Structure 1
Amino acid sequence: MRQVVCKHILFWVEENLYTGKNIADLALSCGYTRRTLELWFSGTYGISPGQYLFKRRMTRAAVLLRLSSLSVTEISTLLNHSNNQNFARAFKRFAGKSPTEYRNSKEWDLSVMQASLYYKVDIDTNITLCSLPDRYLKGDTYLCHDSYLYNEKNTLTQQIKEGVIRLITNGVKDVYLKGVTSIPDSLMKNREGRLDAKITLGEIIDDEEQSTTLMPGGKFCRYFFQCCWDEYYYNTNHFFIQMMSENNFRFTGKECYVHYTGHKETIGHEVSCEVFVPVK
């Protein structure tokens, strides 16, 4: 029962990031006392339900500040703060910076963020730091829609899936992706949690003249995971925050790379991913 209740708490938190409900409302939904929930949840995850809810809400605020053009006032209202000053104090307690300072920082500091435990998968990602040289990529370039929310309203995942399956089925052993996202101009898209994405999918080659694009080298956080395509979107979203926050990395905002491998017979279902995120 304890495991079931703790899982319910994780789900409840994700469903109530914007509602303004508190731990008393959570206890009412569970049918257990607040004290019982505190003991069970803290014993399982090492953090109280109240602190976890606060950190998840502030993590969403941090994402909105960095990946949308929504005003601080609108973000404050979305997260049910009574006024901007109240939100600014709460966010500074979380991140050590005001919302405006956090948004305008050159690098994105994800060290304070709380990854969702609801979507957590126990996978050995074998995280390392590495340096990569400049490389050349030859392939096809696509403009897609991405989302920083845990939903499937994006064309990016489907475009990647179709491209990787096609290339590996046609005999390409190592498929590489170069990708970068940008904030859309449309306020409606910002409110829907959408991003514009530009990706190039293909093979690494030696000839610069034959290449489609340059993959600039530098310092990268490297991690690995293997999953079925149905889990790919959730894993990429979750691992990005988890890897960056747990290792105190700062994202430089430059292009990310992914190295895909798989077998012709199983690539339609399962894929192996080696991810490279530029960090400082």
Structure 2
Amino acid sequence: MQQVICKYILKWVEDNLTSDLNVSDMAVSTGYSRRTLEIWFSEQYGMSPGKYLNRRRMTRAAVLLKLTRLPITEIAMLLHHSSNQNFARAFRHFSGVTPTNYRNSNEWDLSGLQASFFYAKEISFNVTTCTLPEQYITGVSYSCADSYLYNTNNLLTDYIQKEVIRLIKSGTTNIYLIGETILPQNIKESRVGQLVATVTVGTLVNVSSEDTAIMTSGKFCRYSFSCKWEEYY
């Protein structure tokens, strides 16, 4: 029963990231005391449900700051903070910087964000770094408006799967993928919760042309992993 309840808590948190409900409301929905839930959840995940809920909400705020043009005031209201100042204090406590500085930073450090335990997959891989020259990929490109939040019905994943399978069946052994996302251009587009994403799946060629996608030179992280298609997102 403990495992079932902990899984329920994880789902409840994801469903209530932008609601004004709190851990007491969650406890009522389970029929168990808040103390019991805290003990069970802490044993399983190393933190209380309240801390996990707050970290997930602050992570949502971080994503909205980086991937949308929503005003900080609107993000604060979306997460039910009583004022801009209240939200700024909470976010600075979480990230170490103000919402404005976080949004304007040229780098995005993901290490402090709280990934969802509900969607977590146990995939082991070793990360190394490598330096690659500029390379050119020829293949089929696909563009669509896709959610910047996790979505099991991911249009890009569906496209990548179909194109990779097609290339494998045609005898292609080395398949390359390059992707690019474009941030929403205005507040209206930001409220829809989508980015414009373009992906090219194909093979390497030696010469650039109008039909090739360019992978710029630079330092990259490199890793290998294997998983089922339903685990790839």
- Normalised by the length of structure 1, the TM-score is 0.78
State the AA in 2 paired with 1:170.
S
Single out whichever of 67-76 and 201-210 deviates more from structure 2: 201-210
Share of identical aligned residues, percent? Answer: 55
In 2, distance between residues paired with 1:142 and 1:45? 39
Considering only aligned residues, what root-mean-square deviation do their CA atoms show, in Å?
A: 1.9
Q: Is the 8 A contact 1:141 1:200 kept in 2?
A: yes
Counterpart Cα distance in 1 of 2:54 and 2:232: 27
Q: Is 1:128 aligned to residue 125 of structure 2?
A: no
Query: What per-residue deviation string (whole Å, max 9, x for no partner) do you get for residues 87-122 of structure 1?
Result: 111000001111110000011121210000000011
Q: Distance in 2 between matches of 1:143 and 1:153?
A: 16
Cross-structure match for 2:205? 205
Provide the residue aligned with 1:174 in structure 2.
174
1:40 maps to 2:40: yes
CA contact (8 A) 1:181 1:195 kept: yes
> For residue 145 of structure 1, what is the aligned residue in structure 2?
145
| Closer/same/farther in 2, CA of residues 209 and 74 from structure 1, 3 Å limit | closer
Q: What stretches of structure 2 of length at least 5 have no aligned partner?
A: none
Residues 177 and 199 in structure 2, CA contact (< 8 A), matched pair in contact too: yes
Aligned length: 233
SS of equivalent to 1:162: helix
User: Matches of 2:91 and 2:55 in 1, distance apart?
Assistant: 10
What's 2:79 paired with? 79
In structure 2, the CA distance between the partners of 1:35 and 1:178, relative to structure 1 (3 Å rule), is same
Match in the other structure for 2:185: 185
Distance 2:131 2:231 in 1: 28
Moved more, 30-39 or 132-141: 132-141
SS at match of 1:164: helix
- Superposed CA offset, 1:1-36 (max 9, x none): 111111111111101100121111111111111111
CA deviation after TM superposition for structure 1 residue 153, in Å:
5.8
What secondary structure does 1:151 align onto?
A: coil
Structure 1 runs, 4 residues or longer, greater than 3 Å off: 152-155, 186-189, 207-211
Tell me the distance in 1 between the aligned counterparts of 2:144 and 2:42.
40
- What residue number does 2:7 align with? 7
Match for residue 94 of structure 2?
Answer: 94
Residue 24 (structure 1) aligned with residue 41 (structure 2): no
1:57-76 CA distances to partner (integer Å, 9 max, x unpaired)?
00000000000111101111
Tell me the CA shift for residue 131 of structure 1: 2.5
Contact preservation (8 Å) 1:147, 1:153: no
SS in 2 for 1:137: strand
